[in-house]
Structures are given as structure tokens and as C-alpha cells.
Structure 1
């Protein structure tokens, strides 16, 4: 008959032999009788250290018992204990693997975050340097342009002052020369020539040019005449153009109050029709 230990404190007080017997028999270990000695008082003062030592001792005993049971015939209770131990170990291994995977992922995430932060910091530094350099170059170029513009303005003012001084000096010289120059002597008038007297036969007047009745002048502008025939057809002609049925235009002249178009065949004049 075995004595069951229900509390963890009683399991910690059980002796290694009791733990081994419990593992072999399939029951729970019986607590060893305790004697109030100086060691017991020391364990009370240092409970944490003793608890750790007891847990390690118990684990070693259980593992030893499990090893012994592998070499001896197993009972039904021993198989249950071993199954529980294996399940606990497997759960611990799975938990350790899960923690390791999570830790690895966390390390990778932290490393990636550091890389991104470092890249962003480097890019910001490069951009800030480039912007500062660009602003510096712009300021330098602007200062140079302002200086060049000021020099041009000064040079233009100097040139204008020099021209004004030269013009004033020339005007003063002309004024002095005009005041000191003698009055001009009028030149003698040339003798009037006698007009030639025409003698001999009198030339006959030229025949009056013919009037072309088939065309009429309606308007004249910028050396171009607007002509109209009896069919109400309008034609614009200038010097060198040809009038249908008449010929080349020699001139567009104003005679008296009327405009006429001169051709070899005669004159085109305004007509009342």
C-alpha cells in the first residue's frame, strides 16, 4: 500500500527512494518522515534555494526511474507516468521551438527596422547636404549677377557722362567759333541769260488719243484701277497688266478731275453707263 502525496511541498519532502518506488509501482511517492533538525531550519531560511535543489533532485530521480523502467518490465501505471513525462518533454520542446522562432523573427524585424532607419537617416543626410550645396551655389550665382549688373550700370553711367561732356564741349566750341567768325560777304548775282527765241516752223499739236468705249474706270486705289465692261464684268489692272480686248496698260494717271488708264489703243475713262 502506497501513500499518495497531493501537494508540491510534500513532493519536495519525499526521498529519492520513495520517488523511485512510486515510479516503478505506478503510484505516487510517499513522503519521507521529517525530523526537526538544523538542516530543516536552514531550509526554512533559504526556501528558494532548497526548492530549486529539490526540484532538480526530483527531476533527476524521475529521469533515473524512467531509465530504469526502460530496462525492466513495465506495469500499467509506469506506462502512464512515462507517457506523461514524454508529453511534458514534448510540450517543453515545442514551446522552446516556438519561443526560438518568435525570438528569431523579432531579431530579424529589429534588424530590418534598424536598416530602414539607418537608410532613412543616410538619405536625409545626403539630401540635406545636396540642398545646402544647391542653395549655396544659387546664392553665389545671384551675388555674382548682382555684382555684374552693378558694374554694368556704373560703366553705362560713366559712358553717358563722358558723352554728355563731349557734346557740351563741342557745343561750346561751336558757339565760340560762331561768335568770333567774320560776317560772310554776299556773292555777286549771276547775269540773267536771255531766253532763246523760237524761230522756224511751228510744230503741229499731237492728235488726241482715242477713247475706248468698251471699258470704263470705276475706281483707282494704290496705283490699281478697277475697270468694268458693258457686261458688268469687273477687272483690276495695274501698269504692265493686260486688258481683255484692249492690250497692255501703259499708265494709270489722273487728268484733271478724272482717272484714266493709258493703253496703246487709247484711254479708258469713266463712263456714264
Structure 2
């Protein structure tokens, strides 16, 4: 069990209540993390290098890959350290940094996926005006909104959470410092905090999700009007990867945040969080690579050029 000899440090119980899983999880998490780093780094590099990928879609995909790398890096190294041995501690400063960074990046991804849905809407519904609509200035502004909204949410949520009195409570029944589990350490009535967390979750999760659904609603309506099988195939090629990424990310993160904190099951909550913090960032570059002819073409050109040299 966790070593509690470090006075003042938080104790991340994590999966120590299931020690038989820790070695298996260590291997799975390590492999997933390495794939996340490699896959997302490759997407960032080819988006910068290949001139055919100098489009709004890949501009936003580069930001998504950067978010995924940073998000997992804020969590996974500490998780791997805790899985490999009996020490499960994290310093108060380390916990605060992890809370702010992971919350900021997770919120940024929520908004960024909504921005990418708008980009897909413009590509399908406004193809003749796509370049004018998704001009570089608008793309940079939308990316800036995503990053700033994430940082703003982290400053508000993180600060409120860290200011709660804990009366010496240090046992955190999670594998990283996350708001739903952190507020459970408070020794005061946290009902107001639960309500505030729920409202913030509605804004940062359901509002972007609503915008995503609206974008795809317009896309479906535009395709239905054409009544063409080719139009359906083109729409699926254009939007399929983004839809899969949205489903994976929102499906898991909403299971944690859009519910009363009292029903936040320790075991289930940890495994769901493991999915959107470790698995989803690993799958994102694979989804965009395997389903996207432009990315596969860019990779072939890159490797062909390397072989030629």
C-alpha cells in the first residue's frame, strides 16, 4: 500500500487496491504513452513539412496532437512511477501543477473538437467558399479561443478546488489530481462545489458538444438534399475521423463529469479516466492516419524522400 511517510504529500491510491493489475497496467500505459508521443509527433511534423497539408483541418489537427501530447505527459509519468513501486505520493506543488495543466488541456480539447466540427461543416456545406470562410485569421482566432477557454476554466476550477480546507486529508482515491476526486478531500460541505463543478461541466462539455451536433446536423441535412450516394461517401470521408475522435473523448469524459459527485464510483471512475487520459490520445493519431488518404500520402512522401536521401 502507499507509503505515507512523506508528511504533507498527497497519496494517490490509484490502483493499489488491485495490486494484481498494477504490473499489467504499467506495461499497457507505457506502451500507450510511447505510441501517443510517436503518433502525435508524426502528425505535427508532417503537417508542418508537407505543403499539401497546409489547410485549416490540419492546422487544427496539429493543435489537437499538441494538446494530446501535453495532456498525457502531465499525467502518465507520475502514473507510471506510482504503478512500478510502493510509493504513491505526489507533492502538493506537483498535485497543483498536474491539476491546473490537465484541467486546462482537457478543457481546451473539448472546445477544439467543436472548432474542428465547424471546420468540417464549412468543408461540406460551403465547399466553394471554404478557403474564404476558414481563412488563416479565423483559424488562429478559433484556436486561441480554445486554448484561452481551457486556461480560464483551469484557473477558476483549479483555484476553487485547491482552496478548499482539507483538515489533513491526503488520501486521494485516484491515480492523478482531478477535480471530482480532489473535492472529496474537503472537510466542509462541498454541495456548492459540486453544483459549481456540474455547471462548469455543462458549459465546457455540453455546450461544445451541442455545437458539434449542430454542425453535423447541418452536414446531414445538406447531404440529404443532394440525395447522392457519392455525397454520403464524401461526407463520411471528410467527417468520419473527427466523429470517431469526438465519440471516444466525449463518451468517456462525460461519464466522469456529467453526474452527481456522490455517484462517482472509485473503481469505475478510475478506469474511465484512464481511457480518456491514456487510450484516447493514443487512438487519435491512428484514427486520422488509418482513415485519411492525405495523411497516408504525406507519410509515403516523407518516407520516400528519406529513402531517396
TM-score calculated relative to the size of structure 2:
0.16
Between Structure 1 and Structure 2, which shows a larger proportion of helix residues?
2
The answer to which structure, 1 or 2, has the higher relative contact order (CA under 8 A, 6+ apart) is 2
TM-score calculated relative to the size of structure 1:
0.18
Bigger CA radius of gyration: 1
